[in-house]
Amino acid sequence: APSAAMAEGSGSGGSGRGPPCPGAVSAFRRWEQLRRRAATPWARGLLAVAAGLGLLYAVLRVPVRLRDGLAAVTVFLSTLTPKFYFALTVTSSFISGLIFVFEWWHFRKYGTSFIEQVSVSHLRPLIGGAENSPPAPAAFSAGENDTSRQNMPECKVWRNPLNLFRGAEYSRYMWVTGKEPLTYYDMNLSAQDHQTFFTCDTDTLRPSDTVMQKAWRERNPQARIKAAYQALELNNDCATAYVLLAEEEATTIVDAEKYFKQALRAGEMIYRKSQNCHSQSPQHEAQLRRDTNVLVYVKRRLAMCARKLGRIREAVKMMRDLMKEFPLLSMLNIHENLLEALLELQAYADVQAVLAKYDDISLPKSAAICYTAALLKARAVSERFSPETASKRGLSTAEINAVEAIHRAVEFNPHVPKYLLEMKSLVLPPEHILKRGDSEAVAYAFFHLQHWKRIEGALNLLHCTWEGTFRMIPYPLEKGHLFYPYPSCTETADRELLPTFHEVSVYPQKELPFFIHFTAGLCSFSAMLALLTHQFPELMVIFAKA
């Protein structure tokens, strides 16, 4: 034993360990002897006999326990009365009914099943579901990552080019109906826009601009109006103060136009001063950008006032001049205001010229561009179009072009046709829209429905052809035809932008979750059992005991 221990110690010396203790060596020897004895045939036979006896005991003992348990359950059930069964089924039906109603309400409001959401969010991590999920692929290079990020459709919220006036339109709607047409999220986005457009770092140099900087952050409309008057007391030529009063205090478009004319006079004067000294320092350049934003905003709103007051040709001229004077501000989408005004004039050749410039593959699309292009092509064939005649002789080239344009528009925003065909009720459009979403559809249909009605047969052609789009894109969330796949985030954003009393349009239509079907079936089955127990108590007791 000492020589073996020394041999083992010398063998392990290269690894840096000390020699094992004598107790460990003796324990190891005993284990080796026991293993050699268990490997003999008689030892294996003895273990097999013991395992068989244990299994026989379990087979004979478990049925005895099960029999005793069933006997106890039978005795318990035999003592129950029909009233107990009736109360049990009624309680089960009531609870499952409550769960079904809550599930249905949650699905209608949020678009998801509450039970499924809780299961995924809280129960799956507890049972190790998150650990078993496959890891996200991380083998992309930086360039591939950037490319995939560019190709991914983004749910970006845009300023509505045709947004209404708060005091003259939104507030009047609230006074008449008692319903708030704007959501807090939408108004908060507008407050951020105002702070971005109408403020800069040099506001501290002018007391009136300092007051207006605080005014744009106020949540209370009356506090904002009061701050605007304070700014005018400090400086009678504060353009942003007139803008705020025109947007929120004026109760008619005429009053709003008066305020905007005063803002235009003050804004042009400040803009000329900023142009003369914008190259002196970066602060002056920021001030010039701010004054440019104010001037463009005022001119655009004046053109919209002229459009609303019926002076459409004047509005068109103001919009064209604005686009020529500030060509780099195309992101403001002034051309959509121009398209709507030209459609009101029925100047379809001018509309086509605007589309030729802005309906370009390299420029971002909108419902106004896609559906106006479809309207012009439908105008050429809609008056003589008949579904019966087209099914017999086939579609002509012009009709095929019109149908393809409608399919293109519907693929871009599938929510619009229901509003144009008056299958869904309209509400006032929000101040911000989500492209390809329900909010954009509401904003487009609110202003353009009259233009579709004016062209005879256009709505009929739309009614006959718009649903054919969905046969070309059976899986719109995975693959599109002419555009990117339809973004799955539109429903959530639209619920934030549109008022709660409006039923948000969802595309593609979601199937009812499993748990709604399950709770509905459970509630119906429990109610049926309760009814049978009430009508036939003795028979149902016998059935339960059996």
Class of residue 257 by CB neighbours under 10 A (exposed 0-12, middle 13-18, buried 19+): buried
Which CATH number do you get for residue 190? 1.25.40
For the entire predicted model, the pTM comes to 0.68
Q: Does residue 263 surpass a pLDDT of 90?
A: yes
Place of tokens 């106890």: 72
Class of residue 318 by CB neighbours under 10 A (exposed 0-12, middle 13-18, buried 19+): buried
As for how many domains the chain has, the answer is 2
CA-closest candidate to residue 505, choices 111, 101, 100 = 111
Class of residue 32 by CB neighbours under 10 A (exposed 0-12, middle 13-18, buried 19+): exposed
Tell me the average pLDDT across 107-113.
67
Of the given ranges (35-39, 125-129, 232-236), which has the lowest mean pLDDT? 125-129
Does the residue 290 lie in any domain? yes
Look at residue 510 in the predicted model and tell me its pLDDT: 61
Does the residue 6 lie in any domain? no
Look at residue 123 in the predicted model and tell me its pLDDT: 58
Does the residue 152 lie in any domain? no
Domain boundary among 321, 345, 369: 345
* Same domain flag for 291 and 409: no
Does the residue 153 lie in any domain? no
* Same domain flag for 205 and 277: yes
Does the residue 112 lie in any domain? no
* Same domain flag for 363 and 339: no
Does the residue 46 lie in any domain? no
Express each pLDDT in 182-202 by its tens digit: 999 999 999 999 998 888 877
* Same domain flag for 412 and 331: no
Q: Could you give the C-alpha distances from 437 to 375, 410, 506, in angstroms and in order?
A: 20, 12, 9
Report how far residue 469's alpha carbon sits from residue 460's, in angstroms, rounded to the nearest whole number: 16
* Same domain flag for 287 and 403: no
Q: Does residue 111 surpass a pLDDT of 60?
A: yes
Report how far residue 325's alpha carbon sits from residue 305's, in angstroms, rounded to the nearest whole number: 20
* Same domain flag for 391 and 340: no
Does the residue 126 lie in any domain? no
Domain boundary among 320, 345, 370: 345
* Same domain flag for 368 and 332: no
Does the residue 335 lie in any domain? yes
Q: If you average pLDDT over every residue of the chain, what do you get?
A: 80
Report how far residue 210's alpha carbon sits from residue 234's, in angstroms, rounded to the nearest whole number: 10
272 confidence band (pLDDT: 50, 70, 90): confident
* Same domain flag for 223 and 339: yes
Look at residue 60 in the predicted model and tell me its pLDDT: 63
* Same domain flag for 393 and 322: no
* Same domain flag for 286 and 332: yes
Q: Does residue 78 surpass a pLDDT of 80?
A: no
* Same domain flag for 324 and 362: no
* Same domain flag for 256 and 376: no
Domain boundary among 323, 345, 367: 345
Report how far residue 299's alpha carbon sits from residue 253's, in angstroms, rounded to the nearest whole number: 15
Range of the domain at 327: 158-345
